[in-house]
Structure 1
Amino acid sequence: MAKAAETSWTVAHILKHLEQSGSEENRAGMARFGIDMTRAFGVPMSVLRPFARTIHKSNDLALDLWASEIHEARLLAILITPPKEMTDELARSWLDDTHSWDLCDQLTNVLARRTDSGKLVSELTSDTREFVRRAGFALIAWRAVHAKSSPDSEFLGYLDLVRKMSTDDRNFVWKAVHWALRQIGKRSIELHGPALALGEDLAASSDKTARKVGRETVKELSSDKVLARLGTK
């Protein structure tokens, strides 16, 4: 029988547990991956995910954990927030505080599981802040995975956004742009062709960043693994 989720965790207990679970070695490793370690204990996701499952889902607890400003506590706040509680207002508020790609990606992973989260894409991708714009394209990528009932037309509509922002050379933006384009192309055989065509177009661009986005996309969408999965090989 599965163990029941712990209901007695407090913010103080959680922070103490996180501090004891971190290490300088992990801090150094996370920093090498570009994670903001300003207020972090060095606890990997492989530890945080199972820990989150021992904590009861609670919007109030999540808000308190986020307010602590500790990196791993904020990741836990995201993990214990049910998708229906990840409202537009909460997502905007937390993104205002986000300065690390892993927080951005975990937050949009939860947000993408809401069926109506696609309406935020245009707003987030048009924002000039690096991690908010990244969030918009991460949301596209996650929706390509999670939004099973959404029509392909939704994702075709995102291709113009990809093209428009493919010249944003900020590291955490262009990587999210090509992530979104690759996930669109892997979603279905109907989307594969248009996404690959855009990738090829960008690969021939005069802009250095757009060329990187295009080359990364073409490389993956032309791979035997993707073609076999989509049934084209």
Structure 2
Amino acid sequence: MNWTIKTALNGLRELADPEVKNGLSRFGIPADQAIGVKIPQIKQLAKTIGKNHSLAVTLWEQPVHEAKLLAIYLADPQKTDPELMDKWVADFYSWDICDQACGELFDKTTHVWAQIAKWSTDKREFVKRAAFSLIAESAVHLKTADDQHFIECLPVIKNAANDDRKLVKKAVNWALRQIGKRNKTLHQHALECAEEIARTESKNARWIANNAIQELNSEKIRIALNRR
């Protein structure tokens, strides 16, 4: 089948469920542009269509929440350059689109570390969240990445720990925890970073640090690290 913007949108509409749309607000996802399609269904549609970068770029421009998610799954990481990444993050308005882009597309490009450095100092909430979501996703998915990349992310995390915006602080905490769970070496570095953050005067920063310390010191994490 020759997939076009029309057939792709029709494919999404056929999967739409009003109950799914009505439930989005419970997860803090704006529903005004949504039609109500679950992510596994969108991923299955993307698998049926196959990678199609030009269609992805067009879908992203549609005023439909699920069209943006489908665009993320259809985009070709090799064709996803920093300019497109910057454009898409500037359009983010929901944490699910942000995190799906970081964990399903951006972390598969060759621009991960440069984009993290750029976005981490951006004042826009979702752009800044993207930096730390990308750190967290990369810590899980980039199996062969050198530890030094993640060690260099720790000062970035420390510098952002006083940002009290909910979507940013949760991503900063997430990034710190994922680095610490990657291996024993990074576990030690992440704990040291968390302990430094915990000594600051910022209540927000202390929450980020103490929450990370609690998980990283848990028996579950220590057992998992000893198995690696």
Q: What TM-score, normalized by structure 1, do the two folds share? A: 0.91
Check if 1:69 corresponds to 2:63.
yes
TM-fit CA distance, 1:232: 8.0
* Residue from 136, 141, 160 that aligns with 1:141: 136
TM-fit CA distance, 1:204: 4.2
Q: What residue is the counterpart of 1:3 in the other structure?
A: none
TM-fit CA distance, 1:9: 2.3
Q: What residue is the counterpart of 2:24 in the other structure?
A: 30
Q: What residue is the counterpart of 2:170 in the other structure?
A: 175
Check if 1:60 corresponds to 2:54.
yes
TM-fit CA distance, 1:162: 0.7
Measure the CA separation in 1 of the matches of 2:43 and 2:51.
13
- State, as a whole percentage, how many aligned pairs show the same letter: 39
How many matched pairs? Answer: 227
Q: What residue is the counterpart of 2:224 in the other structure?
A: 229
Give the stretch that moved more between structures: 32-41 or 176-185.
32-41
Measure the CA separation in 2 of the matches of 1:150 and 1:191.
12
Measure the CA separation in 2 of the matches of 1:123 and 1:79.
24
Check if 1:94 corresponds to 2:91.
no
Unaligned segments of structure 1, at least 5 residues: 1-6
1:110-125 to 2 correspondence within 5 Å? 110-125=105-120
Measure the CA separation in 2 of the matches of 1:163 and 1:25.
41
Instruction: Give yes or no for contact 1:112–1:118 (8 Å, CA) kept in 2.
Output: no
Measure the CA separation in 2 of the matches of 1:85 and 1:23.
32
Measure the CA separation in 2 of the matches of 1:43 and 1:85.
27
Q: What secondary structure is seen at the aligned counterpart in 2 of 1:158?
A: helix
Measure the CA separation in 2 of the matches of 1:134 and 1:48.
23
Which letter does structure 1 place at the counterpart of 2:54? Answer: D
TM-fit CA distance, 1:114: 2.1
Instruction: Give yes or no for contact 1:115–1:147 (8 Å, CA) kept in 2.
Output: no
Moved over 4 A (4+): none
Greater helix content: 2
Check if 1:201 corresponds to 2:193.
no
CA RMSD of aligned residues (A): 1.7
Which letter does structure 1 place at the counterpart of 2:66? Answer: E
Q: 1:148-205 CA deviation, whole Å, 9 max, x = no partner?
A: 2321111111111111101111111001001110111011110101211222333343
Measure the CA separation in 2 of the matches of 1:27 and 1:211.
36
Q: What secondary structure is seen at the aligned counterpart in 2 of 1:8?
A: coil
Q: What TM-score, normalized by structure 2, do the two folds share? A: 0.93
* Residue from 6, 9, 20 that aligns with 2:3: 9
Instruction: Give yes or no for contact 2:81–2:111 (8 Å, CA) kept in 1.
Output: no
* Residue from 75, 85, 91 that aligns with 2:79: 85
Unaligned segments of structure 2, at least 5 residues: none
Q: What residue is the counterpart of 1:51 in the other structure?
A: 45
Which letter does structure 2 place at the counterpart of 1:87? Answer: D
Which letter does structure 1 place at the counterpart of 2:95? Answer: W
* Residue from 165, 174, 181 that aligns with 1:186: 181
Measure the CA separation in 2 of the matches of 1:44 and 1:58.
21
Instruction: Give yes or no for contact 2:57–2:75 (8 Å, CA) kept in 1.
Output: no
